[in-house]
Amino acid sequence: MRTVTPEAARYLEKARQCLANGKASLGYGLSNDAGRGAYLAAFHAAQAFIFESTGRAAKTHQGVQREYYRLAQAEPRIDKAFAPFLGQAYNLKAVADYETGPDSEIPPEKSAGALETATRFVDLIARLLAENSASDR
């Protein structure tokens, strides 16, 4: 009987934490923090998927994006619409962390949309890992 690895479970826990923080931030009008939280939630969920698939973690943001994309291509249960999400959400993190001036604020509706997509993504990855674990029993 195989269960989800402890590492993958921790990545999913972190993803859910980032979602909760992002949603709370949006509720307080902190759109940049909400956008960053959406990306980090998706990042950690992707790490869970990668770790469960390969037994190792990617080391960089770009590495996670690349490895997730590669592995997701072979998984028919992952909606192909999620493929560009990590890159798009990373752009929100980059704006929140590095931009200055008039382009340094993420519009609240963009952060809210990213949080909705990140929530669906985290839920999908958690479901896939649970299904894979159950099918290995």
Predicted local confidence at residue 62, as pLDDT: 95
Predicted local confidence at residue 117, as pLDDT: 98
Predicted local confidence at residue 2, as pLDDT: 61
The tokens for 102 are: 């008039």
pLDDT tens string, the chain, 137 residues long: the values are 468 899 999 999 999 999 999 999 999 999 999 999 999 999 999 999 999 999 999 999 999 999 999 999 999 999 988 889 999 999 999 999 999 998 899 999 999 999 999 999 999 999 999 998 776 65
pTM summary value: 0.94
Domain ranges in the chain? 6-135
What stretches of the chain adopt beta strand conformation (E)? none
In the chain, the amino acid numbered 75 is E
Pick from 135, 131, 121, 100: which is nearest to 47 by CA?
121
CATH 1.10.287.10 fits 6-135, yes or no: no
* Burial 107-119, CB ≥16 within 10 A → b, else e: eeebbbebbebbb
Predicted local confidence at residue 3, as pLDDT: 82
Predicted local confidence at residue 1, as pLDDT: 45
Which residues, other chains included, contact 67 with Cβ-Cβ below 8 Å and sequence gap of 6+? 50, 54, 58
Pick from 33, 32, 58, 34: which is nearest to 45 by CA?
58
Q: Compute the C-alpha angle 133/136/137, nearest 5°.
A: 95
